[in-house]
Amino acid sequence: MANLVEPHGGKGLVCALLHGGALEAEQERAAGMKQIEVSARAKGDLIMMGIGGFSPLTGFMGKADWKGICENFQMADGTFWPVPITLDVTKAEADSFKTGEEIALVRNGVVLATMKVDEKFEMSDADKKWECEKVFRGEGEESQGDTFWKIAEEDHPGVIMVMAQKEVNIAGPVKVLSEGTYPTEYKGVYLTPAETRAMFEERNWSNVAALQLRNPMHRSHEYLCKIAVEVCDGVLIHSLIGNLKPGDIPADTRVQAIDILIENYFVKDNVINAGYPLDMRYAGPREGLLHATFRQNYGVNNMLIGRDHAGVGDFYGLFEAQEIFDKIPQTGDTGKDLQCRPMKIDWTFYCHKCDGMASLRTCNHTKDDRVILSGTKLRKALSEGAEIVDHFGRIEVLDHLKLYYGSLTEKVEVKMQAAASGESM
């Protein structure tokens, strides 16, 4: 049997999703509860709590956890966690139920979960700004001095999301009643942590890497994945299938593109194409840590971290998401500390003189010899109908993506940041 990394938190997989008679009984109880409409982000968070992806969380966080995570990456009990998982409501909604009361959490008419409200805490604009400073501000050009707030409130999706939150956060344990449409819409791709662990066990994988994707796989992604295949038992190609920002490519198109790539350019037994139901938070380095944290729950002990991981604009340093792994606190308790480690890969590209994929660690040629690859650069070229540079992607994948872009009636402008253009190489 494979010896997989233990789930984060030292308590095994903590799953809030109900089944069978317990589910039916709770659905009946929920019909008599106060209903609160939640965001798409909260829906993804609830599903992750349901399936164990957010182990050891049992519900939305209270003020002590929120503050500890923002300040020092730790919940109140010392357990590592990089990004607050909170639920916001209006003051009027908060006043409509008492602490200790159970409420139903609803999204577009579907009851997703019930929640016992243990705590309410107000979030002023100053509190939200403080959270943004701690979670979203990085070391890139757009995070320097007064520039951050001049740009972030209009151009940083994560900051915009937090500043738009309602006046009160509520905290407490949840019972999850629905996984939404993911099990049917993405059948065979949407996998729970228990399912991926079973697949790893079946294949006798114990040393597993994950590749995080929100863009279609280009040659750099393929290269990163193949590096991991060479040194690990297998790789989980793990795509975000929750909500993205305007201009990003829909999940079904990306999943199909990965299938095409695996079919033509991988040994299938060494990779698994899967998806997870979160929305992007665009938290750059902190989101890289979140990716590693919940991948540990999926049975992954190595997180591939390349250039500008989970970045947006020029808010983050090119390799800040790698460096942050060396700065997080360590308690010495394997249950509380992050056990999924980063596989730090340098800037990768196609080099004409090397006649293949290479990185700054292996190639001594000049920028003029290299094809700089990035998901943003690819999306921009495809959205504008521009010619795709040779060696940027596999022709079968590019043809599939061109069909998608050709079907669009409305184009979304894709902003090109320095990290994607290669200007700062």
* pLDDT tens-digit series, residues 341-400: 999 999 999 999 999 999 999 999 999 999 987 777 777 788 888 888 888 889 999 999
**CA angle centred on 39, ends 35 and 44, rounded to 5°:** 105
| Separation between Cα atoms, residue 33 and residue 87, nearest integer Å | 18
pTM over the 0.85 mark: yes
State both tokens at 383.
């959205």
Give the pLDDT confidence score for residue 419 in this predicted structure: 52
Q: Report helix, strand or coil for 50.
A: helix
- How far is 82 from 309, CA to CA, in rounded Å? 15
The CATH number of the structural domain formed by 182-421 is 3.40.50.620
Residue 301 pairs in a beta bridge with: none
**Where are the domains positioned within the chain?**
20-123+165-176, 182-421
214 is catalytic: yes
Cα–Cα dist 253/176, whole Å? 28
Class of domain 20-123+165-176: alpha beta
The terminus-to-terminus CA distance of the chain in angstroms comes to 44
Catalytic site residue from 214, 281, 295, 370: 214
| DSSP character string of 257-281 | HHHHHHHHHS-GGGEEEEEE-PPP-
Which residues, in sequence order, are bridge partners of residue 113? 105, 176
Which of 38, 22, 19, 32 is closest to 179 using CA atoms?
19
Name the one residue in this structure whose structure tokens are 């094809």. 371
Is 215 tagged catalytic? yes
Regions of the chain where pLDDT drops below 50: none
pLDDT confidence of residue 250 = 84
**Active-site entry in 41, 107, 137, 215:** 215
